[in-house]
Amino acid sequence: MMKVVALAGGVGGARLVDGLAQCLPPEDLTVIVNTGDDFEHLGLHISPDLDTVCYTLGGIANPPTGWGRAHESWRMLESLAELGGPTWFRIGDRDLATHLERTRRLCSGEALSKITQEFCCAWGVLPLVLPASDQPVPTWVSTDQGEMHFQEYFVKRQCQPRVQGFRFAGVEAAEPAPGVLSALLSCDLVVICPSNPWVSIAPILAVPGIRAAVAAKPTLAVSPLIAGKAVKGPAAKMYREFGQPASALSVASHYGDLLAGFVLDRLDARLAPEVEAMGIRPLVVNTLMKTRASRRRLAREILDFAERFVLTGN
Ligand code: FO1
């Protein structure tokens, strides 16, 4: 069996991770998760992408949104509104426990990676889920309305500002979390999930040591853009605002020389020859993941493709 490391950010990434977890024994899957979305809110440390991946793998994620927990209630938020507190970032009552307990443990000096392991045990998540780094690397977005933290851009302002650049504060001094480099060194394949290349995957690759470790392994990426649109989130808008076509080809070249394989949706089949001309092996399949079965199907197709081409180097 193949040992796989998946790089994942928000909802799209979590869905493919769920598919991979349905195809691989838990000991053969490690997920390295973006922490650039992490921020302090209501005095709590919130790690949205870690929670989205863990909730999804634990089967307790809220299906319609992909973030937060299923079967939620909103009593805290209602009471917070009565007090005039900030309710733009919607925290449900079950989800609140995660942020309270993570904050309590971080304040006691526990590392984010260790807290994540213990939460995974509590939620019955078997694959290894690791933050890219235990040090904070918050994503700051430069826009035509000034610089703001990613969550203000993404949630509070609904991605309206025009992006001009990103900064992962402190990333130069950050280290890969314990287990990240050893997972990359011992894996057979790296899968870059269909997350936003700018703000979900780039912050992971920016942590010193991670990009080089990925570059040393057969790597494939799944396009988060289908027919010029993001399945979810601002990725297509970001490419346009940087003057690039909102195309799967922009994603393939975004990852530069990291890729041996690239997964395109059928609607972008005509782009396969151009991907091949970049020296990257294309796979054209239905990449939409509306159900758990479709997540498993896509993951199976990707792993079969990797075994046929990416791992054999032809
Ligand atoms: N995304 C939203 O668009 N609106 C929200 O109110 C919101 C709340 C929220 C609470 C907990 C959590 O873990 C994630 C949450 N997200 C929300 C998603 C979050 O903004 C993520 O960063 C995105 O999914 C992008 O990765």
| pLDDT values of the chain reduced to their tens digit, one per residue, 314 residues | 899 999 999 899 999 999 999 999 999 999 999 999 999 999 999 999 999 999 999 999 998 999 999 999 999 999 999 999 999 999 999 999 999 999 999 999 999 999 999 999 999 999 999 999 999 999 999 999 999 999 999 999 999 999 999 999 999 999 999 999 999 999 999 999 999 999 999 999 999 999 999 999 999 999 999 999 999 899 999 999 999 999 999 999 999 899 999 999 999 999 999 999 999 999 999 999 999 999 999 999 999 999 997 667 65
User: Is the CB of residue 13 below 6 angstroms from any atom belonging to ligand 1?
Assistant: no
Q: Which residue has the tokens 């020296």?
A: 279
Total Cβ atoms within 10 A of residue 178? 13
Measured in angstroms, how far is the CA atom of residue 249 from the centroid of ligand 1?
Answer: 28
Half-sphere exposure of residue 193: CA atoms within 13 angstroms, side-chain side = 32
Mutate to test the pocket of ligand 1, among 17, 49, 62, 89 (most ligand atoms within 8 A of CB): 89
Mutate to test the pocket of ligand 1, among 44, 155, 199 (most ligand atoms within 8 A of CB): 155
Smallest CA separation from ligand 1 atom 18, residue: 67
User: Is the CB of residue 11 below 6 angstroms from any atom belonging to ligand 1?
Assistant: yes
Measured in angstroms, how far is the CA atom of residue 150 from the centroid of ligand 1?
Answer: 11
User: Is the CB of residue 38 below 6 angstroms from any atom belonging to ligand 1?
Assistant: no
Smallest CA separation from ligand 1 atom 25, residue: 10
User: Is the CB of residue 49 below 6 angstroms from any atom belonging to ligand 1?
Assistant: yes
Asked whether 148 and 141 are in contact (CB, 8 A), the reply is yes
| Residue 228 vs residues 65, 112, 268: alpha-carbon distances, Å | 22, 36, 9
pLDDT of residue 314: 58
The side-by-side arrangement of strands in the sheet containing 163-168 is 146-149, 139-143, 163-168
Q: Which of 79, 179, 92 is nearest to 128 (CA)?
A: 179
| Residue 4: strand pairing partners | 29, 189
User: Is the CB of residue 48 below 6 angstroms from any atom belonging to ligand 1?
Assistant: yes
Structure tokens belonging to residue 103: 């904050």
